[in-house]
Amino acid sequence: MSYCLQRLPGGVYKKFSGVVDVAEYMVSSTEVANLPDYADLRFSINDFSGIDGYKASHLEMTNVIAMDMGVRERNPDIQLAIIATDAKLLALIRKLYQSATGYRIDYFATLAEAQDGLSRKLGFPVVVG
């Protein structure tokens, strides 16, 4: 897996590629959580649209959930956006991650849909360049 982190006005955009595994995903999440202005971020976009696959055991997902529940206290109102079309990945995120962490998560099939949806929801333009 590799990912690219892009800072945007009001938030961040993470584009994943290759085969995503949980350990590397946690590195990307930690990078965002360690940003000095993390508490002020309004949104985070996780783009899985270009991945070749993913590896995630139940135990690994539990570790991600535990880490993110701790981080959530620093920014409980951040809006998460997931870009993906893989039905199994979406089900995993909805069933385990969203239900356990309580994050507000919107799901989109494309980056254009995510930008439009977040812009309407947040009241300012979200543009990934």
The pLDDT value recorded for residue 70 is 72
Report residue 40's pLDDT band, with 50, 70 and 90 as the boundaries: very high
Q: Provide mean pLDDT across the span 11-23.
A: 94
Q: Which residues of 10-42 are buried (b: 16+ CB within 10 A; e: fewer)?
A: ebbbbbbeeebebebbbebbeebbeeeeeeebb
The residues pairing with 108 across neighbouring beta strands, listed in sequence order, are 83
Q: Residue 84 and residue 109: Cα distance in Å, rounded?
A: 5
The domain defined by 2-122 carries CATH number 3.30.750.24:
yes
pTM of the model: 0.91
Structure confidence at residue 125 (pLDDT): 98
Contact between 100 and 69 under an 8 Å Cβ cutoff? The reply is: yes
pLDDT digits 0-9 by tens, 45-82: 999 999 999 998 777 877 777 777 777 888 989 999 99
**Do the Cβ atoms of 11 and 38 come closer than 8 Å?**
no
Predicted confidence at residue 71, as pLDDT, reads 78
